[in-house]
Chain A
Amino acid sequence: MARRVALVSITLTLALTAGCADPPTQQVQDAEKALKEAQESGAATYSAEEYAKLEGTLAAMRKEVSDQEGKFGLFRDYGKAQELSASAKAESDRIKAASVQKKEEAKAAALQAQQVAEEAVRATQDLVAKAPVGKDRAAVEAIKNDVEGLKSLLKQVQASIDKEDFPAAQTQAKAIHDMSQGVSTEIQNALAKVGRGKPGRKK
């Protein structure tokens, strides 16, 4: 009889011990860390849809862990939580890589636009040096004023790049390029009308 009682006790203890599954703490932490890294890589901006879904998966994982923790030890099963954390981790890594790439592409596009704008402003500046005066002195000074303004605007492009706001940098650079071309056309028209001359004097 005593032997039977002992056997039952051992069996129950074993069952209870085996049933008290531990939460996948490390895996959950890894998934959380991977999400943070994805966020830091700019995923919310460059992979907005996927990042939102990833956050959803993490929320489901946390809920699942919490649900299991709320159960009686013998009935806890962290299999689904493990599955979700593993999938979130893998997805985070993928999204992070994709975001880094998209960000690099946006940066490259912004830098390219910046370069084109800088060249356009430089070309306009060169044209201004050849600008005629003739009857349009005020116009030429206004053009010079605009070119100075454009040079100053180029600093804003750099500021946007520094802030990693590449879409803003790109639109700014494109606008500056267009404006430079407008000013160049204005000078070319003046050149065509008046031609070149000799330097004047101060007043």
Chain B
Amino acid sequence: MGAVYISRTVAALLCTAGLVGCVQAVPPDLIAAVEAIDQDLIALHAPETAPEEYRQFVRQWALLKARTQLDDDVIRWPWESGDLENDIRWLYVMGERTVSQLHDRQVSQQRATQDKVTRLESQLHSIAARIEAIDGRILLGEKGVQTDLFVKQARSYLDQKDYPRAMQAAEKADHALKAQASLLSQELGRYADDNRIIYWQILAKQTIEWSRTHQATAIVVSKAERELSLYKNGRKVLSYPVRLGFNGMLEKQFQGDGATPEGRYHVTDRRGQGQTQFYRALALDYPNAEDRRRFQLAKRSGKIALSRGIGGQIEIHGADNERLALTLGCVMLDNPNMAVLYESVPVGTPVTIVGALSKQNAVASALTQFDRGKEEI
């Protein structure tokens, strides 16, 4: 009886031990937890935005999964240590850490990119307005639209949550904005050059003085202020706003550059109704001897192509509602103002066109703002 009891007990213990030993190598909930980490990484776009981290994770996970499948065939005693389980737990912990790091990184990337793109958009908007105000858009050539494109691309990538590409486009926009500011400084820097302004002031003063001493009329045009002033006997009698050539802020160099010439000129002809397409016009003696000398010098030094002409037919004229030809470099007034001017100015009247008459001119202050913007960028 005792022997039977002992035999039964031993058999029962063996069965229990056998059953307990037939446990799975890795708890299914642990596997599910790692799978959940994988899903979290996918939700964070880790395969695209952090490919190296994601590759490391899935590589480890694939190796461990293969081991898990192999271990399914092995019977393990409950007291045996599970290396595989430990490895998967380690991967889980590492995965959790990666998820947390990626999440933090993305939040910070999103914030940084959002800030940068928003700042760029605002800077572009403000710079574009300033450029427009000084007729500098053409000066920029394709740089203007190129910068706009980068900023729009950056916004587009940001909306797609592709922060690395958004940042890349924003960096390009940064460079393009700096290049714009540099180009404008290079082309229009003379408006902020004190010596140049003093020279222009002297030119204007001499013209006014001539008007006084000769008891005659004289005209002074300031490009930066976009103002034409008529002097009689050395006294300013009227001032009108003017429009310039499409590249009017530049110093005229050749035919077709759209720039308005600077220097001392004279009215050579008065063109009334039927003699001009511009309501009324006062023809100037551009190019004068100084213009020709400068032009030849520039040609000889290779600054101007040999095929270029010096241009001509520069006038002070009224407005006409016509389609534009390729190039213009005149000084244009509204018709009522032109009518008054036309009646006040005889042939031979000196006309002095200068860049600016004050150090705080519109172009100089715009350039200062560009420089400030450049530093902010």
Which of A19-27, A28-36, A47-55, A101-109 lies at the interface with chain B? A47-55
Which residues of A from 40 to 94 have beta carbons under 8 Å from B?
44, 48-49, 51-53, 55-57, 59-61, 63-64, 80, 84
A57 to B60, CA, bound (A): 10
With A49-B42, A200-B328 already in contact, the answer to whether A149 and B145 are too (CB < 8 A) is: yes
Chain B residue with the shortest CB-CB distance to A147: B145
From B41, which residue of chain A is reached at the shortest CB distance? A49
Q: How far is the CA of A52 from the CA of B135 in the complex (A)?
A: 54
B256 to A, closest residue via Cβ: A202
B6 CB-CB contact with A under 8 Å: no
Q: Is A4 an interface residue (CB 8 A)?
A: no
* The one of A53, A140, A174 that contacts B156, using a Cβ cutoff of 8 Å: A174
Q: Is the CB of A137 within 8 A of B323?
A: no
Known: A52-B51, A137-B246, A203-B328. A179 touches B322 (CB 8 A): no
Q: Which of A59, A140, A153, A167 contacts B63 (CB 8 A)?
A: A59
| Complex partner residue of A201 from B132, B135, B247, B325, CB under 8 angstroms | B325
The listed residue with most B CB atoms (<10 A of its CB), out of A59, A171, A195, is A171
B153 touches A55 (CB 8 A): no
Contact status A138-B323, CB under 8 Å = no
Residues of B within 8 A of A168 (CB): 153, 165
Give chain B nearest CB distance to A129 CB in angstroms: 9
| Given A167-B165, A175-B149, residue A142 in contact with residue B63 (CB < 8 A) | no
Residues of B within 8 A of A60 (CB): 62-63, 65-66
A120 interface residue, CB < 8 Å from B? no
What 1/0 mask marks residues of chain A from 124 to 162 whose CB sits below 8 Å from any chain B CB? 000000011111011011100110111011001000000
Question: Whole-angstrom distance between the alpha carbons of A186 and B93 in the complex?
Answer: 58
Q: When the two chains form the complex, which single residue of B61, B63, B145 contacts A146, counting CB atoms closer than 8 Å?
A: B145
A81 nearest in chain B by CB position? B66
Contact assessment for A172 and B145 in the assembled complex, using a CB-CB cutoff below 8 Å: no
Chain A contact patch, size range: 35 or more
Query: Which residue from chain A places its CB closest to the CB of B154 in the assembled complex?
Result: A171
Complex formed: what's the CA distance from A133 to B145 in Å?
22
Cα distance, A133 to B162, chains bound together (Å): 43
Main secondary structure on A side of the interface with B: helix
Taking CB atoms, residues of chain A closer than 8 Å to B327 are 202-203
- Residue of A at shortest CB range from B63? A60
B243 vs chain A, min Cβ distance (A): 6
CA distance A80 to B72 in the complex (A): 12
Q: When each residue 149-181 of chain B gets 1 if its CB lies under 8 Å from chain A and 0 otherwise, what string results?
A: 100110011000010010001000000000000
User: Does B32 reach chain A (CB closer than 8 Å)?
Assistant: no
Closest to B66 in A: A60
Write the B315-330 contact mask toward A (1 if CB under 8 angstroms, else 0).
Answer: 0000111111111111
Question: A178 near B: Cβ within 8 Å?
Answer: yes
Residues of A within 8 A of B69 (CB): 80
The residue among B54, B55, B245, B323 with the most chain A CB atoms within 10 A of its own CB is: B323
Alpha-carbon distance A145/B319, docked complex (angstroms): 22
* Distance in angstroms between the alpha carbons of A39 and B144 in the assembled complex: 39
Q: Of B8-16, B108-116, B228-236, B306-314, which binds chain A? A: B306-314
30 residue pairs of the A-B complex, CB under 8 angstroms, read A44-B51, A49-B54, A52-B59, A55-B58, A56-B59, A63-B66, A64-B66, A80-B66, A131-B323, A134-B321, A137-B246, A138-B135, A141-B246, A145-B138, A145-B140, A145-B141, A145-B144, A146-B145, A148-B142, A168-B153, A174-B156, A175-B149, A199-B325, A200-B323, A200-B325, A202-B255, A203-B256, A203-B258, A203-B311, A203-B327
- 20 more A-B residue pairs beyond the given contacts A53-B62, A60-B66, A153-B142, with a C-beta to C-beta distance below 8 A: A52-B51, A52-B55, A61-B66, A84-B66, A134-B322, A137-B332, A138-B243, A138-B248, A142-B135, A149-B146, A150-B145, A175-B152, A179-B149, A195-B321, A197-B320, A197-B323, A200-B323, A203-B255, A203-B256, A203-B328
Name A residues whose Cβ lies closer than 8 Å to a Cβ of B: 44, 48-49, 51-53, 55-57, 59-61, 63-64, 80, 84, 131-135, 137-138, 140-142, 145-146, 148-150, 152-153, 156, 167-168, 171-172, 174-176, 178-179, 194-203
